[in-house]
Amino acid sequence: MNKYDVVIVGSGLGGLLCGYILSKNGYKVILLEKNNQLGGCLQTFTRKGVTFDTGMHYIGCMDDNQLLHRFFNYFSLLNDVKLRKLDENGFDTISLNGNQYKYAMGYENFVEQLSNGFPLERKNIQAFINQIRTVADESPLYNLREINQQVLLSTESVKTSVNEFVSSITNNATLQNVLCGNIPLYAGIKNKTPLYIQALISNFYIQSAYRIVGGSHSIAHSLKKSIEAFGGEIQTNAEVKKFNCGADSITSVELTNGEIIEGKNFISNMHPQATVEKLDTPLIRKAYRDRIYQLENTISNFTVYIQFKKNKVPYLNSNYYHYNSSSVWDCTDYQTKNWPMNYLYMHQAPEVHTGYSEGALLISYMHFNDVAQWANTTVGKRGTSYKEFKEEKATRLIAELEKSFPGISSQIESYSSSSPLTYRDYTATKEGSMYGVLRDKNFPTQTLVSQRTRIPNLFMTGQNINSHGILGVTIGAIITCGEFLGINAIIRDINNT
């Protein structure tokens, strides 16, 4: 039987990045992925020639030498992942109360463009930029600085909520909403979501924002190629059923097909609740188990994947965040009759740029409860009532889009949709939660999942430690691999690459 230095469960972005770092540094690794396709949220699918992303639509800080660009350089991704820059003067459009406001790239440009809509608020918009920059600048890992203590974020940014922060910036309620207009990027909850989440994400995209051309699976495929070149192994259709434990550590994992894979160390890229479920051992105390089970998760979503008629719909180089409610914070509290209260509309970046769009995504929040009656079904076998439910929701979302883009529905060739059940079954994230565990500024330590577990040779990675999104998960992978190599050694390696 093979004995690996590190067995990584799950090939989401977190698992793949850990696989890359550790195999590059001589560890014998194997990644085990339950699905046929690698990548978790990096998975894509193609319908009638149009490739759709499912969980990675746009990324930031990719101008030369910006933060993610430096990470992409280290992870050998620059040649394999093709990008298209969003509109520099409006990469995100916030549609609120019949008006549209633009987020522009570049700090000065951001202030300039937004001040057009709020001429009396220029100073406050500048204060917003200054403060989110301060939060980002204070964090060593978000600046590739070596760390000399375990403090990764300022206390204030952890203990202040996003809404408290924007209220301290301005009394103008519309501007407060606009500054939080990208809230679906973190599924924020009023009086809970900490400032650092919004600050790091906004700062990330304001520096530069790009769509991935041809599908986000290119990130997973490139990482796979590198891991294998370093001698690592990746097995798909390999669902881990349980961790086998000895007296004081994990000895192996058992797959659903009965195969046993032994290792010296284990990294779980699964949701922490799914990880704990697979640990039937007294090494995990009840208090730890209970704490993990009680963690609240971020909301899920309903998405419509639209294929347009050929050469009919001009390519929209901006992400369109629309709100029907007077406050962006209310949208998770929808009722069946007033759903959807918001949506995010994004075009897929086409491989060949004709000026027209081939396909788009239309995403709105959805609670798992809305699909709970089909919870015991599996993909493709959920029955007619589920199909009718999805059709009704898709029709409603498209009708909402039509209000902002008159005539758009007549340009739709075909569409399909996904629900919280789809995300639950394709990523094994609890209740199809978009971004995993919800961070709460009132309980900062309790809602922070450590990369360390109660078992000395089991670690966690992915969006539930540190933060979600391509940047949050990348920093998370460095934190996890820091347990093997030391965080500063990895930072030095990145800086020297």
Ligand X SMILES: Cc1cc2nc3c(=O)[nH]c(=O)nc-3n(C[C@H](O)[C@H](O)[C@H](O)COP(=O)(O)OP(=O)(O)OC[C@H]3O[C@@H](n4cnc5c(N)ncnc54)[C@H](O)[C@@H]3O)c2cc1C
- Residues in touch with ligand X (CB under 6 A): 9-15, 32-35, 40-41, 55-59, 239-240, 269-270, 274, 301, 363, 423, 427-429, 434-435, 462-463, 468-470, 473
Question: Smallest distance, Å, CB 118 to ligand X?
Answer: 26
| Cβ neighbours around 370 below 10 Å, total | 18
- Looking from the CA of 2 toward its CB, the CA atoms found within 13 Å total 13
Q: Between 180 and 197, whose beta carbon lies closer to ligand X?
A: 197
Tokens standing for residue 229: 């070149």
Distance CA 340, CA 299 (A): 14
Categorise residue 289: left if φ over 0, alpha if ψ from -120 to 50, beta otherwise.
Answer: alpha
Distance CA 453, CA 460 (A): 7
Question: Smallest distance, Å, CB 384 to ligand X?
Answer: 26
Q: Between 121 and 423, whose beta carbon lies closer to ligand X?
A: 423
Q: Between 111 and 267, whose beta carbon lies closer to ligand X?
A: 267
Question: Smallest distance, Å, CB 181 to ligand X?
Answer: 15
Q: Between 170 and 453, whose beta carbon lies closer to ligand X?
A: 453
E-assigned strand segments in 348-468: 359-366, 412-418, 458-460
Tokens standing for residue 144: 């590739």
Q: Between 35 and 124, whose beta carbon lies closer to ligand X?
A: 35
Residues 205 and 91: beta-carbon distance below 8 Å: yes
Distance CA 439, CA 224 (A): 31
Q: Between 55 and 140, whose beta carbon lies closer to ligand X?
A: 55
Question: Smallest distance, Å, CB 271 to ligand X?
Answer: 7
Question: Smallest distance, Å, CB 17 to ligand X?
Answer: 8
Question: Smallest distance, Å, CB 349 to ligand X?
Answer: 12
Tokens standing for residue 56: 């990675």
Residues 296 and 440: beta-carbon distance below 8 Å: yes
Q: Between 55 and 232, whose beta carbon lies closer to ligand X?
A: 55
The SS3 of residue 418 is strand
Q: Between 33 and 440, whose beta carbon lies closer to ligand X?
A: 33
Question: Smallest distance, Å, CB 363 to ligand X?
Answer: 6
Residue count (the chain): 497
Q: Collect all residues with Cβ–Cβ distance below 8 Å to 299 and sequence separation of at least 6.
A: 187, 332, 365, 366, 367, 433, 434
Question: Smallest distance, Å, CB 57 to ligand X?
Answer: 4
Q: Between 175 and 227, whose beta carbon lies closer to ligand X?
A: 227
Closest to 315 measured CA to CA, from 289, 345, 339, 349: 349
Q: What does DSSP assign to residue 79?
A: T
Residue 196 forms beta bridges with which residues? none
Distance CA 16, CA 223 (A): 6
Question: Smallest distance, Å, CB 274 to ligand X?
Answer: 6
Distance CA 161, CA 167 (A): 10
Question: Smallest distance, Å, CB 344 to ligand X?
Answer: 9
Q: Between 174 and 377, whose beta carbon lies closer to ligand X?
A: 377
Tokens standing for residue 113: 């463009």
Q: Which residue has the tokens 């097909």?
A: 257
Question: Smallest distance, Å, CB 435 to ligand X?
Answer: 6
Categorise residue 343: left if φ over 0, alpha if ψ from -120 to 50, beta otherwise.
Answer: beta
Q: Between 136 and 240, whose beta carbon lies closer to ligand X?
A: 240
| Cβ neighbours around 391 below 10 Å, total | 12
Tokens standing for residue 395: 């029709």
Q: Between 194 and 462, whose beta carbon lies closer to ligand X?
A: 462
Tokens standing for residue 328: 């962006």
- The two beta strands, 319-323 and 92-96, are parallel
Residue 403 burial (CB < 10 Å; 0-12/13-18/19+)?
exposed
Question: Smallest distance, Å, CB 10 to ligand X?
Answer: 3
